[in-house]
Structure 1
Amino acid sequence: MRLPLISAAIIDDDEIYRFIIARMLKNSGIALVFQAENGKKGIQQIETSLILPEVLIVDIEMPVMNGFETAQYIKMNWPQIGIIAHSSLIDDKTKALMIKSGADLFLPKPCSASELIGSICQLAVLK
């Protein structure tokens, strides 16, 4: 069974991890709008994209512009975009700060494909 078409984007500095997530999205029928290796490039992609992603998967630890700054900027400018923070930093303080910065959900890295896809679908329905 294919899911209804949902659009998502990935902002993560790990190229291999972006590839894995992109493959999960494709296999689940979720449209990948773009990939970016840091928050600044992700924001540039949003600004020039013809289609806004419904959900962003955002890493926390990235060069140039980290996940906290990225989530905060995106929520101020595109509040309709859902944000899933996806990181190996899983302490309560980091999770709380990421939610305060604008993330709607937090998922630890790594997580199962079903957990990630389920979270994307849940967030897309809420938006």
Structure 2
Amino acid sequence: MKIRFAVVDDAAFLRELVKNIVTSAGGTCVGEAANGDEAVALVESTLPDVVFLDMVMPLRNGIETAKVIKELHPEIKIIGCSTIDQEALVQKAYDSGFDDYITKPFSKEQVLESIKKVLPQLGESTHGRT
């Protein structure tokens, strides 16, 4: 799977977990961020195909971050990764620009299926760089 991805979560071990899952499947991690402000700067400088985005973070939560990312780059896919599974909040996440949503704890299979769901053409970077 030739995708470029970024991981945004305030928990370093979860960033590492997602990185390991996706890189072992052939993805390229273009960077990590621990909060929403860092995430927006990271996306601007690296233009990933997919952003794995936590909901609860300091400075700017996942919903606020997703709105900014989608305003700037609507083609970038956002996969939410959060412990929050309340239907109303998950719907709010989709409304703000999330393309898919997986609940922690998640499996390797869930992460890879989510990527296939948001990037059905799987294998091609939308930005032409790998």
Residues 6, 121 of structure 1: 8 Å contact kept: no
Counterparts in 2 of 1:12-91, with a 5 A limit? 12-49=9-46, 52-91=47-86
Residues 9, 15 of structure 2: 8 Å contact kept: yes
- Segments of structure 2 that go 5 or more residues without pairing to the other structure are none
- Segments of structure 1 that go 5 or more residues without pairing to the other structure are none
Q: Which amino acid aligns with 1:59?
A: D
Counterparts in 2 of 1:100-119, with a 5 A limit? 100-119=95-114
Structure 1 consecutive aligned stretches of length 4 or more whose deviation exceeds 4 Å: none
Q: TM-score, normalised by structure 2?
A: 0.89
Q: By how many angstroms is 1:124 displaced?
A: 2.0
Q: By how many angstroms is 1:121 displaced?
A: 2.6
- Length, aligned pairs only: 122
1:5 lines up with 2:2 in the alignment: yes
Q: TM-score, normalised by structure 1?
A: 0.91
Asked which structure has the greater RCO (Cα within 8 Å, sep 6+), the reply is 2
Query: Using the alignment, how far apart are the partners of 1:71 and 1:20 within structure 2?
Result: 21
Q: By how many angstroms is 1:66 displaced?
A: 0.5
Match of 1:92 among 87, 96, 102: 87
Determine helix, strand or coil for the equivalent of 1:125: coil
Q: Which amino acid aligns with 1:31?
A: T
Q: Give the superposed CA RMSD.
A: 1.3
Query: Using the alignment, how far apart are the partners of 2:45 and 2:23 within structure 1?
Result: 22
**Residue 118 of structure 2 corresponds to which residue in structure 1?**
123
Determine helix, strand or coil for the equivalent of 1:72: helix
Q: By how many angstroms is 1:62 displaced?
A: 0.1
